[in-house]
């Protein structure tokens, strides 16, 4: 049995049980840094295709991808052959190194095959959200200067409603998967040569994705991500814990970044990626059990499902959690019999912070962790100068494989950097051991009179109340104070507004927050609008009403407003 194959209980055995908590923290950080330094010292693959090719050479008959909702499976040999066949077909169709190719496909083998084939050619993918309307698709295609488009036949009708296509994207440059006139995706794939070698290939610093952020307001910006970005992000995910994760679950849409790096993570682990057709909180643990999943991103919405006696019956070795309430962290671990560790990442910088697997003492701390390999992080003021330890400031990130900038938006790119340091827009503080804690979104602030209020802080305080499952806090224009605080709350299952009336919620808020942070307005919700990554879309909440005070409990007036 190798060190990488040890059972999780052995891996998590506390080092030096008689040591103090501070000693344990230091020992765990040093152990994690040794692994990260090892990653940084090694030569990494050049491109995303190179990761696949190496795995296919090592384990050609191993299952690489399993789309379990449709039953489609691909071994590494079948996958690398399909990627080369499609690369050949696309090359004959006219796609060359550097071309921008829009891709609007479902969670089916065609998406990862296309992504990897474009990587093989040195072309650039523009993933398109399959929920986009025609104006949104038009925006992305034009903003990303798309020259080709690969689209599922179920979305092809949207093209008829687009008023202005990019100049280079003529109708004869559209590839359709499924029944439709024009160039067939399936024909391109079937006609290609599995031994195809492109005349020009990508380098680590060549652009791979123009990845549009799933922003909560307005049109998104296209992050320019190189092969180096994807290779580094996947390598960190695969090796930061020193544990083998053979079975990995991806439940989000492929146009989102997570399934893309998780695909490469599975290849690096010489494992299998199990892909859901679409997210489902109610089916999530059934997937975990059925496919003996070792690693996944664990959304808090799964924790909100009714407890099942089988919750702890699984093979999970670690799950990544993002923004899970610290008050439920320990219970989540116990209920699902899993080591859950916080992390922080974003499209622009990929994986950035993580809590080491062995750092059991950090469970429930609320920390996002310490920097991963290839990342430096600082907490700074508005001028980019370091703040004192423990003080709140914006986290900035530096590394050799972060985004190049925002495509076609030089001003936005300039505004997002202090020199080489990317400005995350997130407020953090750092403790004496180097662990970082997210406090709120710099732009997600409410300015009430002369006070700045972080929406995240108010939300966290409200969700300490057991009756409240989720909260969203937004500013409301106010003539006297500039802005007032409004809280949208979604109650936990089994509770009604009668169980948690406004007076009780406000009393709870007053017990946990300074008086100026207590919401003036309160509105109950049974559901929230969400991004594909399940983040609350506050922009849509704000846009629902001309006057945000409507249908809200007014704490000052002690009455409902209509």
Weakest mean pLDDT among 47-56, 58-67, 354-363, 534-543 = 534-543
Domains in the chain, number: 3
pLDDT of residue 219: 60
Cβ(20)–Cβ(433) below 8 Å: no
Asked, for residue 107, whether it belongs to a domain, the answer is yes
Same domain, yes or no: 415 and 455? no
Residue ranges making up the domain that contains 355: 3-42+280-441
DSSP conformational letter for 492:
P
pLDDT of 21 higher than 80:
no
Same domain, yes or no: 303 and 436? yes
pLDDT of residue 129: 87
pLDDT of residue 1: 27
Asked, for residue 128, whether it belongs to a domain, the answer is yes
Neighbours of 167 (CB within 10 A): 9
Question: Which helix or strand (DSSP H or E) is residue 208 part of?
Answer: strand 207-212
* 120: region left, alpha or beta (phi > 0 left; psi from -120 to 50 alpha): alpha
Q: Which of residues 441, 475, 494 is at a domain's end?
A: 441
> Which residues are bridge partners to 315 per DSSP?
none
Same domain, yes or no: 322 and 431? yes
Asked, for residue 271, whether it belongs to a domain, the answer is no
* 350: region left, alpha or beta (phi > 0 left; psi from -120 to 50 alpha): left
Whole-number Å distance between alpha carbons of 314 and 337: 8
Same domain, yes or no: 485 and 433? no
Same domain, yes or no: 313 and 366? yes
Same domain, yes or no: 334 and 196? no
Structure-token pair, residue 205? 């610093």
Q: What CATH code is carried by the domain that includes residue 311?
A: 3.40.50.12780
Structure-token pair, residue 239? 């090796």
Angle between helices 21-41 and 227-239 in degrees, nearest 10: 140
Q: Which of residues 422, 441, 460 is at a domain's end?
A: 441
Same domain, yes or no: 16 and 117? no
- pLDDT band per the 50, 70, 90 thresholds, residue 18: low
| Alpha helices, DSSP H, located in 291-415 | 300-303, 326-336, 410-415
pLDDT of residue 560: 95
Asked, for residue 54, whether it belongs to a domain, the answer is no
Asked, for residue 499, whether it belongs to a domain, the answer is yes
User: What phi and psi values does residue 297 have, to the nearest 5 degrees?
Assistant: -85, 125
Find the mean pLDDT for residues 237-250: 96
Q: Which of residues 441, 475, 501 is at a domain's end?
A: 441
Q: pTM of the entire structure?
A: 0.82
Report the mean per-residue pLDDT for the chain.
92
Same domain, yes or no: 362 and 430? yes
Sign of the CA dihedral with 57 first, then 59, 65, and 70 last: positive
Asked, for residue 518, whether it belongs to a domain, the answer is yes
Asked, for residue 250, whether it belongs to a domain, the answer is no
pLDDT of 462 higher than 60:
yes
Question: Which helix or strand (DSSP H or E) is residue 27 part of?
Answer: helix 21-41
Structure-token pair, residue 266? 């599975």
pLDDT of residue 15: 42
Q: What CATH code is carried by the domain that includes residue 89?
A: 3.40.50.980
- pLDDT band per the 50, 70, 90 thresholds, residue 451: confident
What is the per-residue pLDDT across 295-353, written as a single tens digit (0 to 9) for each? 999 998 899 899 999 999 999 999 999 988 898 999 999 999 999 999 999 999 999 99
Same domain, yes or no: 22 and 99? no
pLDDT of 11 higher than 50:
no
Q: What percent of the chain has pLDDT over 70?
A: 95
| Alpha helices, DSSP H, located in 42-109 | 48-58, 76-93
More confident residue, 60 or 426: 60
Whole-number Å distance between alpha carbons of 277 and 366: 31
- pLDDT band per the 50, 70, 90 thresholds, residue 478: confident
Asked, for residue 335, whether it belongs to a domain, the answer is yes
pLDDT of 179 higher than 90:
no
pLDDT of residue 64: 98
Cβ(270)–Cβ(143) below 8 Å: no
What is the per-residue pLDDT across 98-118, written as a single tens digit (0 to 9) for each? 999 999 999 999 999 999 999
pLDDT of residue 216: 42
Q: HSE of 380 in the Cβ direction (CA atoms, 13 Å)?
A: 18
What is the per-residue pLDDT across 489-516, written as a single tens digit (0 to 9) for each? 999 999 999 999 999 999 999 988 878 8
pLDDT of 3 higher than 80:
no
What is the per-residue pLDDT across 71-84, written as a single tens digit (0 to 9) for each? 999 999 999 999 99
Structure-token pair, residue 529? 């609008």
Question: Which helix or strand (DSSP H or E) is residue 214 part of?
Answer: none
Angle between helices 110-121 and 48-58 in degrees, nearest 10: 110
Same domain, yes or no: 415 and 289? yes
Same domain, yes or no: 430 and 466? no
Q: Tell how many helices (H) and how many strands (E) occur in the chain.
A: 16, 28
Name 89's Cβ contacts closer than 8 Å, sequence gap at least 6: 187, 188, 189, 191, 192
Q: HSE of 322 in the Cβ direction (CA atoms, 13 Å)?
A: 13
What is the per-residue pLDDT across 502-554, written as a single tens digit (0 to 9) for each? 999 999 999 888 788 899 999 999 999 987 667 788 878 888 888 999 999 99
Q: What percent of the chain has pLDDT over 90?
A: 79
Same domain, yes or no: 188 and 285? no
pLDDT of residue 304: 87
């Amino acid at each position: 049995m190798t060190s990488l194959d040890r059972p999780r209980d052995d891996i998590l055995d506390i080092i030096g049980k008689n040591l103090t908590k501070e000693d344990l923290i230091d020992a765990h950080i040093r152990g994690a840094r040794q692994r990260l330094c090892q990653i940084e010292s090694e030569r990494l693959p050049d491109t995303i295709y190179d990761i696949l090719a190496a795995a296919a050479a090592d384990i050609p008959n191993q299952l690489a991808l399993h789309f379990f909702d449709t039953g489609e499976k691909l071994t590494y040999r079948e996958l690398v052959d399909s990627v080369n066949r499609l690369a050949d077909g696309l090359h004959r169709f006219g796609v060359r190194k550097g071309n921008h190719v829009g891709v609007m496909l479902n969670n089916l083998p065609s998406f990862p095959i296309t992504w990897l084939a474009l990587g093989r050619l040195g072309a650039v993918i523009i993933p398109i959200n399959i929920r986009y309307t025609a104006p949104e698709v038009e925006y992305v295609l034009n903003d990303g200067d798309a020259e080709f488009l690969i689209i599922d036949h179920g979305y092809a009708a949207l093209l008829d409603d687009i008023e202005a296509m990019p100049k280079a994207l003529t109708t004869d440059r559209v590839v359709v998967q499924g029944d439709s006139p024009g160039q067939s995706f399936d024909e391109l794939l079937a006609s290609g040569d599995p031994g195809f070698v492109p005349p020009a290939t990508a380098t680590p610093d060549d652009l791979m994705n123009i990845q549009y952020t799933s922003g909560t307001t307005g049109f998104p910006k296209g992050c320019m991500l190189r092969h180096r970005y994807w290779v580094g992000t996947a390598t960190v995910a695969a090796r930061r814990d020193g544990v083998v994760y053979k079975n990995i679950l991806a439940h989000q849409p492929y146009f989102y970044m997570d399934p893309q790096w998780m695909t490469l993570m599975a290849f690096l682990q010489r494992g299998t990626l199990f892909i859901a057709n679409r997210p489902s909180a109610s089916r999530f643990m059934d997937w975990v059990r059925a496919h003996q999943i070792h690693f996944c991103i664990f959304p808090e919405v799964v924790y909100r499902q009714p407890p099942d006696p089988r919750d702890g019956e699984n093979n999970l070795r670690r799950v990544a959690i993002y923004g899970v309430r610290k008050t439920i962290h320990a219970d989540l671990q116990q209920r699902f019999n899993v080591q859950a560790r916080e992390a922080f990442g974003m499209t622009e910088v990929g994986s950035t912070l993580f809590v080491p697997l062995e750092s059991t003492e950090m469970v429930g701390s609320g920390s996002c962790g310490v920097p991963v390999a290839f990342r430096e992080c600082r907490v700074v003021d508005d001028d980019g100068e370091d703040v004192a330890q423990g003080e709140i400031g914006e986290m900035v990130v530096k590394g050799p494989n972060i985004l190049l900038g925002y495509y076609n938006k030089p001003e936005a790119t300039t505004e997002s950097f202090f020199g080489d340091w990317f400005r995350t827009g997130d407020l953090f503080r750092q403790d004496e051991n180097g662990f970082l804690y997210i406090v709120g979104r710099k732009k997600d602030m409410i300015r009430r009179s002369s006070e700045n209020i972080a929406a995240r802080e108010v939300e966290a305080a409200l969700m300490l109340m057991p009756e409240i499952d989720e909260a969203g806090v937004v500013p409301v224009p106010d003539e006297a104070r500039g802005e007032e605080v409004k809280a949208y709350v979604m109650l936990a299952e089994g509770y009604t507004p009668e169980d948690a009336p406004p007076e009780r919620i406000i009393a709870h808020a007053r017990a946990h927050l300074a008086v100026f942070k207590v919401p003036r307005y309160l509105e109950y919700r049974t559901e929230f609008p969400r991004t594909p990554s399940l983040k609350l879309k506050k922009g849509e909440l704000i846009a629902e009403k001309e006057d945000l005070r409507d249908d809200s409990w007014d704490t000052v007036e002690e009455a409902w407003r209509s």
